[in-house]
Amino acid sequence: MQAKAREVYVPPVLQDLRAGTAELHIALEKRLPFFTDQLDTDAFQRLMQAYYGFYRPLETALLESARIPADFDLTPRLKAPILQRDLCKLGESVRTLEQLPICQHLPVIDSSAACLGVLYVLEGATLGGQILRREIATRLGLNAGNGAAFLDVYGAATGRRWRDFIEYLGARPMDVDERAAVVAAAQTTFSCFERWLESREVLA
Ligand code: HEM
């Protein structure tokens, strides 16, 4: 007898997140220069500087927020320290890193739902990283050891860590309003990030 295909349960909040951010994802993906001929190592470094200018203050805001759910362990999911190490490997000094422009228009983190919406975007971005990692290794010869660890931040654990996050998200009891707040925060995260990257002139 043929085995029945395993049915994957998609929690309602994830359905809402996907429906609410798919277009924003496509729009941003199209403008990111990872696959353009103009992307040389200097342009990649400027792009990663811009990523750092967004991730660092946003992760700091999450860490300092009293709203982050008490049972969520953010520390092992922080990516700004990895970006910082990459930039050093690409030739930046600690002093120049400290002087890099930092995004001032971040998503508002005023509830646990908002934290989760922001985290959905930051965690989901690790999935696309797997494609980008290969591209940047082929194109620029950069990898986890010499300046592109951010694109492979969870390495072989990428899939498992995403599933863990989704399981955590799906297990949280949420009413309709909270689900809407999660989606709104995810949407704002995408749009703030795109606007920031645009202002840093790193988008195609
Ligand atoms: C050129 C750049 C990018 C590419 C090629 C890309 C590609 C992808 C791909 C292929 C997936 C699905 C992976 C899977 O289902 O296993 C994905 C998921 C996702 N990406 Fe991207 N991505 C890019 C940039 C970004 C950025 C910059 C962000 C946010 C800052 C982002 C956020 C997400 C999110 C939240 C998901 C999860 C969607 C879900 O399954 O619910 N991506 N991306």
Cα–Cα distance between 39 and 183 in angstroms, integer? 32
Handedness of CA 183, 189, 204, 162 (dihedral sign): negative
pLDDT band at 7 (very low <50, low <70, confident <90, very high): low
For residue 191, the CA-to-ligand 1 centroid distance in Å is 14
Statement: residue 107 has pLDDT above 50: yes
pLDDT of residue 8: 74
Residue 37, C-beta contacts closer than 8 angstroms, at least 6 positions apart: none
Determine the residue of 127, 161, 169 to mutate for testing ligand 1's pocket, defined as the one with the most ligand atoms within 8 A of the Cβ atom. Answer: 127
For residue 89, the CA-to-ligand 1 centroid distance in Å is 25
For residue 2, the CA-to-ligand 1 centroid distance in Å is 33
Cα dihedral 164, 49, 134, 150 in deg (nearest 10): -30
User: How many C-alpha atoms does 134 have within 13 Å on its Cβ side?
Assistant: 4
Q: List, for residues 148-204, the tens digit of each pLDDT value.
A: 999 999 999 999 999 999 999 999 999 999 999 999 999 999 999 999 999 999 998
Percentage of residues of the chain with pLDDT beyond 70:
97
Residue 164: Cβ within 10 Å count? 13
pLDDT of residue 4: 43
Cα–Cα distance between 99 and 44 in angstroms, integer? 18
pLDDT band at 136 (very low <50, low <70, confident <90, very high): very high
pLDDT of residue 9: 82
| Closest to 103 (Cα-Cα) out of 186, 195, 25, 32 | 195
Statement: residue 16 has pLDDT above 60: yes
Q: Judge: domain 39-199, CATH 1.20.910.10.
A: yes
Burial of 151 (0-12, 13-18, 19+ CB in 10 A): buried
* Domain spans of the chain, in order of start: 39-199
Q: Which two tokens stand for residue 91?
A: 């030739």
Residue 128, C-beta contacts closer than 8 angstroms, at least 6 positions apart: 29
Are 49 and 87 within 8 A, CB to CB? yes
Statement: residue 5 has pLDDT above 70: no
**Ligand 1 contacts CB of residue 13 (under 6 A):** no
Statement: residue 57 has pLDDT above 70: yes
**Ligand 1 contacts CB of residue 128 (under 6 A):** yes
Distance, first Cα to last Cα, the chain: 52
Cα–Cα distance between 133 and 164 in angstroms, integer? 22
Q: List, for residues 31-56, the tens digit of each pLDDT value.
A: 999 999 999 999 999 999 999 999 99
Percentage of residues of the chain with pLDDT beyond 90:
95
| Closest to 157 (Cα-Cα) out of 127, 137, 134, 120 | 127
Average pLDDT, the chain: 95
pLDDT of residue 132: 98
